[in-house]
Amino acid sequence: METVTAAIPASSVTVEEFIQTYANHPVYLPPRGPQLHAKNWQSEAALRMFLNNLTAEVAENPEKLVVYGGIGQAARTPQDARKIVELLLTLEEDESLLVQSGKPVGKVRTHAEAPRVLIANSNLVPHWATWEHFNNLRERGLMMYGQMTAGSWIYIGTQGILQGTYETFAACGRIHFNGDLRHRLLVTGGLGGMGGAQPLAATMAGATFLGVDVDPERIKKRLETRYLDKMTYDYREAMRLVLAAKDKGEAISVGLVGDIGDVLEQMLQDGITPDILTDQTSAHDPINGYVPNGFSLEEARQLRESDPEQYRHKSLKSMARHVGFMLELQRRGSKTFDYGNNLREFAQQGGEPNAFQINGFVPEYMRPLFCEGKGPFRWAALSGDPEDIRVTDEALKELFPENPHMINWLEQAQEKVAFQGLPCRICWLGMGEREKAGLLFNRLVREGKVKAPLVIGRDHLDCGSVASPYRETEGMLDGSDAVSDWPLLNLMANTSGGATWVSFHHGGGVGIGYSQHAGMVVLADGTDRADRCLSRVLHNDPALGIYRHADAGYETAQQNAAKFGLQI
């Protein structure tokens, strides 16, 4: 017999009243608490996470439906956002909503264990997969850019990339600095939606941090959400702060308003060589993301609107200059790596021939984790109560007492991470662990230990869901960097396994023409149906990572396939 969540009240609010209360553009608010507004918790979960992506605490520009990453949107237009809400409120358990680049286009007949929402964003036939063609379509209202978790409705604020950034910095410390980042200075550009995780990740790993961004509002947001310790407009003050902290071994973070190229040039002139150097500016989008050297934000906006081709040309030249300084600091001893924003490719196009002498972060630091099926497992408390996240944190610590790294991470996160929007958590888990965690969460809902269902998702930056030759699949052992069959297989495995919503995107992280990737979210609502779906999806999803890397010839992945009984 099907077990159902106890006493979940249905809402008497009409669709129109709901839209006025929760989704009245541009004030998007996710409902909280145990009350059901949609016809089932699967649709309700998608509804709440869609609105959570767009709430002001989370999104970079809710009025334009931009969640993060330059132009990464959750819906194409305000009218489309309203229609998505309306359809999710009325969706039956044997129907699935189709969303094409942020526009709801229809419902199809499915079944109770099928995904409630099927999403495709920014996908173009390869010959036409260029920024020029995409921008033409976007200007005509025919397409939007979904980034990774913006258009798949599972962005959880800056925390979403926090542990991945922490794992990268910690791996850099283990490889180059005997596992100790105290007395080490880490310098980077970009403190937006993705880059904003860098200061807290660096200090959690023990480093002294300097981050540079041309937009003071982005730095202020990191201060408000406790991801950053100090902010300054003055280069000399920033240097005094970080160099003094480095000498003392203090893990503090400083945000400097400025142009990252100018700052690196000045550091070279001053003879200051950071121990670690990377970048997370929005370089993946030369027009809507990166700000060319020498331009104020307003001047950049005006040129972007009046002459986008000239803007792009100046961006590429600025990226070449930027990377040139990074290469010189690398020659002087900085451990320098690309952080997957396609900066090297555009710098090369802008005239820096040696851009790819900087290695990418995945082959340098992350691939061993991918070979274990590890990646960014994240979940959200649909109740809106932070106590539910504390309950899940403690339950995971009891479930995996043999995993001190995970326990340490959760304890630090409890202390240092401020929630944005619905309370959420991220914690990297691997093959076997994800399924156990999902079933545990479902039991917590069933037993009433949390106040409403939980949703489990991940970034698309995962072990088996992305083809991105300048990021997740850079330098594959067998040369299969650009093979995108794997994310398609991931999409199909998670769809047939019963994820609650699934997505397939083009371009996230590195830009149009450079990646394809799949996303999934699965609901824990305390039911037997959820047990079945969670067990399948949270087995299949990390298994694809092991299959992908085992097939490429990685011995560790082959060993893990044998360990977990995966038949190759």
Confidence of residue 390 (pLDDT cuts 50, 70, 90): very high
Contacts of 340 (CB under 8 A, 6+ apart): 360, 361, 362, 461, 468, 470, 471, 472, 509, 510
Output the pLDDT for position 461: 87
Measured N-to-C along each axis, helices 260-270 and 235-248 cross at an angle, to the nearest 10 degrees, of 60
To the nearest whole percent, how much of the chain has pLDDT over 70? Answer: 98
* Identity at 527, one-letter amino acid code: T
pLDDT bracket for residue 172 (50, 70, 90): very high
**Confidence check: pLDDT of 107 > 70:** yes
> Mean pLDDT over residues 236-247, rounded?
98
Using DSSP, how many helices (H) and how many strands (E) does the chain show? 20, 20
Grade residue 3 by pLDDT with cuts at 50, 70 and 90: very low
Output helix, strand, coil percentages for the chain, rounded to the nearest 5.
45, 15, 40
Least confident of 97-101, 363-367, 497-501: 363-367
Active-site hit among 172, 371, 427, 463: 427
Are the C-beta atoms of 419 and 492 separated by less than 8 Å? no
Q: Is the pLDDT of residue 127 over 50?
A: yes
pLDDT band at 12 (very low <50, low <70, confident <90, very high): confident
Question: What is the C-alpha to C-alpha distance for residues 138 and 102, in angstroms, rounded to an integer?
Answer: 11
Residues 90-94 have a mean pLDDT of 96
Q: What is the pLDDT of residue 9?
A: 66
Report residue 497 as tokens. 């396994």
- What is the rounded CA–CA span in Å between residue 257 and residue 176? 29
DSSP conformational letter for 328? H
Cβ-proximal residues to 484 (8 Å cutoff; 6+ apart), any chain: 467, 516
Would you place residue 489 in the very low, low, confident or very high pLDDT band (cuts 50, 70, 90)?
very high
- Rounded Cα distance between 374 and 174, Å, is 18
pLDDT of residue 4: 45
- Report the pLDDT value the prediction gives residue 195, as an integer from 0 to 100: 86
Rounded to whole angstroms, the Cα distance separating 135 from 145 reads 9
What's the whole-number mean pLDDT along residues 212-222?
95
For the chain, the average pLDDT equals 95
Please report which confidence band the pLDDT of residue 1 belongs to, taking 50, 70 and 90 as the band edges: very low
How far, in Å, CA of 253 to CA of 129, rounded? 39
Q: Is 456 helix (H, G, I), strand (E, B) or coil?
A: strand
Q: What is the pLDDT of residue 8?
A: 60
Model-level pTM greater than 0.85? Answer: yes
- Rounded CA-CA distance 166/203 in Å is 9
The answer to whether residue 11 scores a pLDDT higher than 80 is no
* pLDDT at 193 > cutoff 50: yes
- DSSP category for residue 296: -
172 is catalytic: no
Average pLDDT over residues 505-509: 95
Helix axes 308-331, 297-306, angle to 10 degrees: 130
Asked if residues 163 and 425 have their Cβ atoms less than 8 Å apart, the reply is no
Task: Let me know: does 255 contact 231? Beta carbons within 8 Å.
Answer: yes
Mean pLDDT of 463-468: 95
Residue 250 has pLDDT above 60, yes or no: yes
CA 368 to CA 186: how far, in whole Å?
Answer: 23
- pLDDT of 73 above 80: yes
SS3 259: coil
| pLDDT for res 6 | 43
